[in-house]
């Protein structure tokens, strides 16, 4: 393992922000990780486990350890007539992992095609898109305790998966390095087409004939048509989470804004698209210096080139404040601001 000092993270975050890590260690396997934990005691300073850097915003240099997950490998753990258990190293690219499953004709992850980042971050964030979340296919993960080097298996019930959340972002925040993740896939078709744009795209196709690969390709096509490619324009996908509000607050807003969209939740609350709220405040497509709001998706803040993390953070604060003043709703960042 080669530890670097004062490492520039410019090419290791999708916002394309230049920030330096005091200590930087690329991790290729579990023994290397354990050795580092026991020799360097990285939790004694600040510590960040970094995957693809597609959900972080650096506003300053990182004083402490950045452990970059490069643990690779995809293994078939079980394969029978109906199902496959697939285990992937935490440093595998998520999108490539989904492609591997889809190319083999295994169902379950195709709606999550093309989400940037690593397999290890997927359960941490409980990534989701197009009507599903990774938790639906999650079986277990192995994680290494960043203080002791102990390796523990977490099954689904241990992970407290929620909307873009898990125990690794709450109670166990900063304690674990996800080494590998196991997913359960199906050989029989299991089509999830409840997300309106996906349903509409297949309006004239006999659904019983649709393959996982056709769904995956359509998801990629829709994503490419409305989300900026971080290789061309720096961004971290949705900057804010969709807020969840009470029924009474929603009714008050609906009186004022009859077109306000909403998604009813099981507990009677309603999820309101943050992108709609931001757009109503006039932010969609706006440019502020080197930063801005994407012209096709108001939830995506972008680096138009040479922006600093602080400039993007300032833009986010301004948007939060405008949404709060107009709707009395607090929108919380999904992106980890460092």
Ligand X SMILES: Cc1cc2nc3c(=O)[nH]c(=O)nc-3n(C[C@H](O)[C@H](O)[C@H](O)COP(=O)(O)OP(=O)(O)OC[C@H]3O[C@@H](n4cnc5c(N)ncnc54)[C@H](O)[C@@H]3O)c2cc1C
Where does this chain bind ligand X (CB under 6 A)?
14, 48-56, 69, 90, 115-118, 120-122, 124-125, 127-129, 164, 168, 176-178, 227, 230, 235-237, 336
What torsion, rounded to 10 degrees, do the Cα atoms 213, 215, 216, 219 define? 160
Q: Which residue, 116 or 320, is less far from ligand X as judged by CB?
A: 116
Measured CA distances, 331 to 316, 320, 336 (Å): 10, 6, 14
- Residue 161 CB, nearest distance to ligand X (Å)? 12
- Measured from the CB atom, the residue of 166 and 327 that comes closer to ligand X is 166
172 catalytic? Reply is: no
Q: Is 164 a known active-site residue?
A: yes
Sequence-ordered list of residues with C-beta below 8 angstroms from that of 306, at least 6 positions apart, any chain: 290
Q: Which is nearer to ligand X, 236 or 253 (CB)?
A: 236
What is the smallest separation between the CB atom of 12 and ligand X, expressed in angstroms?
A: 8
Interacting residues of 98 by C-beta distance below 8 A, sequence separation 6+? 109, 110, 112, 113, 114, 115, 216
Write down the least CB distance from residue 27 to ligand X, Å: 9
Are the C-beta atoms of 56 and 338 separated by less than 8 Å? yes
Shorter beta-carbon distance to ligand X: residue 21 or 115: 115
State the Cα–Cα distance between residues 9 and 338, nearest whole angstrom: 13
Known catalytic residue at 150: no
Please, what is the minimum distance in Å from the beta carbon of residue 257 to ligand X?
26
String of DSSP letters for 130-179: TTEEGGGTEEEEEEEETTT--EEEEEGGGS--BTTB-GGGTTTTTTEEEE
Least distance to ligand X from the beta carbon of 226, Å? 10
Nearest-angstrom CA–CA distance, 101 and 138: 14
The answer to whether 98 and 109 are in contact (CB under 8 A) is yes
Measured from the CB atom, the residue of 297 and 327 that comes closer to ligand X is 297
Nearer of residues 154 and 327 to ligand X, judged by Cβ: 154
**Closest distance of CB 119 from ligand X, Å:** 8
d(CA 12, CA 30): 21
Q: Is 268 exposed, middle or buried (0-12, 13-18, 19+ CB in 10 A)?
A: exposed
**From 166, 216, 238, 262, the catalytic residue:** 238
**Residue in 54, 140, 164, 216 annotated catalytic:** 164
If we measure between CA atoms, which residue out of 64, 37, 34 comes closest to residue 48?
Answer: 64
Catalytic (active-site) positions: 164, 238, 334
């Amino acid at each position: 393992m080669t530890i670097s000092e004062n490492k520039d993270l410019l090419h290791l975050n999708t916002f394309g922000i230049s920030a330096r890590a005091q200590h930087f260690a690329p991790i290729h396997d579990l023994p290397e990780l354990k050795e580092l934990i026991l020799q360097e005691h990285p939790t004694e300073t600040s510590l960040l486990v970094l995957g693809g850097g597609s959900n972080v915003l650096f506003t300053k240099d990182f004083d402490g350890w950045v452990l970059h997950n490069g643990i690779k490998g995809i293994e078939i753990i079980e394969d029978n007539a109906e199902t496959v258990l697939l285990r992937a190293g935490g440093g595998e690219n998520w999108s490539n992992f989904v492609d591997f499953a889809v190319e083999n004709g295994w169902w379950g992850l195709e709606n999550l095609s093309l989400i940037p980042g690593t397999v290890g971050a997927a359960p941490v964030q409980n990534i989701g898109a197009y009507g599903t979340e990774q938790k639906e296919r999650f079986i277990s993960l192995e994680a290494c305790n960043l203080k002791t080097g102990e390796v523990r298996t977490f099954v689904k019930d241990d992970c407290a998966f929620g909307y873009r959340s898990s125990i690794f972002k709450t109670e166990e925040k900063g304690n674990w390095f996800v080494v590998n993740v196991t997913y359960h896939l199906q050989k029989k078709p299991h089509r999830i087409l409840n997300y309106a744009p996906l349903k509409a795209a297949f309006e004239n196709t006999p659904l019983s004939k649709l393959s996982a690969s056709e769904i995956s390709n359509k998801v990629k096509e829709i994503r490419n048509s409305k989300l900026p490619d971080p290789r061309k324009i720096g961004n971290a996908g949705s900057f804010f989470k969709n807020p969840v509000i009470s029924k009474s607050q929603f009714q008050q807003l609906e009186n004022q804004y009859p077109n306000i969209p909403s998604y009813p939740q099981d507990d009677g609350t309603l999820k309101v698209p943050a992108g709609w709220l931001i757009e109503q405040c006039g932010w969609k497509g706006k440019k502020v210096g080197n930063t801005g709001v994407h012209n096709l998706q108001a939830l995506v803040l972008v680096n138009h080139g040479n922006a600093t993390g602080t400039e993007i953070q300032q833009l986010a604060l301004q948007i939060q404040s405008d949404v709060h003043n107009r709707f009395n709703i607090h929108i919380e960042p999904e992106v980890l601001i460092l």
